[in-house]
């Protein structure tokens, strides 16, 4: 075991040497003496084998972490990615008996062109929800005024559900300030009825409108209202209204609580919980709590240029189950 540990330490050092020479000159000045000292202390305490193994494991882990950090930094610093993260969460959990659904989503925003007032970008995402995986590829443009207090944008998207091959186009507009945000999206089905796992499903056309009022609490927080409507064009339609609050209670952890009223159903309280894992520079930046002071003065919001478009990335479908028509993701 000691020989294997020594071998791992030597190999790990050899693999890490280019990084150590190029980016971590402090390794020879700080880290290497510490490793030798810890191993020496281990032999003095008759624990030399364990000391070598522990140092090998710790050093290998450090090399791996440093390599990942370096790769993340290179992606964002040496390319045009402005946003890159991975989100885990539940979309709804049962405050009023609703079924909990887990969601995973990877999201990126890539700069195509930028000057003082214009930001042209590609947005790509993959979302897994209810055992369905959907890919979204979009093109967007945003204009920010000279004072950097107002953003106006437009976008278009192509959505594709891998499992069932449902397809959809989407178009959206957005108006963003530090106080209020308004977004509207339209969705246009590109496929008709598809039989998936023995059930006939139809992609629905639709639209949604979301109004957000930002609040100066936690790391971010807002009140929101959202209206959505989806239909098949031959008589079936479903609507939903949602009023709620969302707050980033700790960095990257967002809790949402809302009242939702769907067509033909009683209003119910729903909730969502999502944890984002920011990559690259965003993973190193420290978020600051807001000051809790209300103001009507618009603040600069240039960083909002680089954030993802907010839209429904999952494809809404109609399905007939046991003779009953239902809609969902």
Question: Is-contact 311 162, C-beta < 8 A?
Answer: no
pLDDT (tens digit per residue) in 2-39: 444 444 444 444 444 444 444 445 555 555 566 565 65
Assess whether pLDDT exceeds 60 at residue 326. Answer: no
The mean-pLDDT minimum among 21-35, 50-64, 299-313 falls in 21-35
Question: Is-contact 130 105, C-beta < 8 A?
Answer: no
Angle, helix 2-23 to helix 48-77, in steps of 10 degrees: 30
Classify residue 311 by burial, with Cβ atoms within 10 Å: 0-12, 13-18, 19+: buried
* Domain boundary assignment for the chain: 2-77, 81-328
Alpha helices in the chain (DSSP H): 2-23, 26, 32-44, 48-77, 281-284
pLDDT (tens digit per residue) in 228-272: 999 998 888 999 999 999 999 999 999 999 999 998 888 999 888
114 membership: H or E segment, kind and range: strand 102-114
Mean pLDDT of 102-124: 96
pLDDT (tens digit per residue) in 137-168: 999 999 999 999 999 999 999 999 998 999 99
Residues 6+ apart with CB under 8 A from 158: 136, 137, 138, 167, 168, 169, 170
**Topology of the domain comprising 81-328:** Porin (2.40.160)
């Amino acid at each position: 075991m000691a020989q294997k540990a020594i071998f791992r330490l030597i190999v790990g050092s050899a693999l890490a040497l280019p990084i150590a020479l190029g980016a971590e000159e402090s390794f020879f000045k700080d880290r290497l003496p510490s490793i030798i000292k810890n191993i020496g202390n281990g032999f003095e305490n008759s624990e030399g084998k364990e000391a070598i193994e522990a140092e090998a494991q710790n050093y290998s882990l450090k090399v791996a972490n440093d390599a990942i950090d370096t790769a993340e930094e290179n992606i964002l610093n040496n390319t045009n990615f402005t946003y890159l993260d991975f989100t885990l969460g539940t979309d709804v959990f049962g405050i009023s008996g609703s079924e909990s659904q887990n969601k995973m989503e990877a999201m990126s925003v890539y700069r195509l062109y930028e000057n003082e007032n214009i930001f042209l970008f590609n947005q790509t995402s993959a979302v897994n929800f209810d055992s369905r995986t959907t890919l979204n590829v979009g093109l967007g443009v945003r204009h920010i005024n000279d004072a950097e207090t107002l953003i106006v944008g437009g976008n278009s998207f192509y959505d594709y559900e891998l499992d069932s091959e449902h397809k959809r186009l989407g178009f959206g507009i957005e108006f963003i300030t530090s106080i209020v945000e308004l977004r509207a999206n339209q969705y246009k089905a590109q496929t008709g009825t598809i039989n998936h796992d023995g059930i006939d499903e139809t992609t629905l056309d639709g639209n949604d409108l979301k109004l957000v009022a930002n609040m100066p609490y936690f790391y971010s927080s807002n009140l929101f209202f959202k209206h959505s409507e989806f239909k098949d064009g031959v008589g079936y339609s479903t609507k939903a209204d949602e009023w709620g609050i969302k707050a980033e209670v700790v960095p990257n952890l967002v809790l949402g609580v809302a009242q939702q009223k769907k067509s033909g159903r009683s209003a119910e309280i729903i909730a969502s919980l999502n944890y984002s894992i920011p990559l690259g520079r965003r993973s190193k930046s420290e978020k600051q709590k807001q000051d809790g002071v209300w103001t009507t003065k618009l603040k600069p919001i240039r960083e909002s240029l680089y954030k993802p478009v907010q839209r429904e990335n999952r494809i809404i479908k109609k399905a007939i189950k046991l003779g009953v028509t239902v809609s969902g993701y």
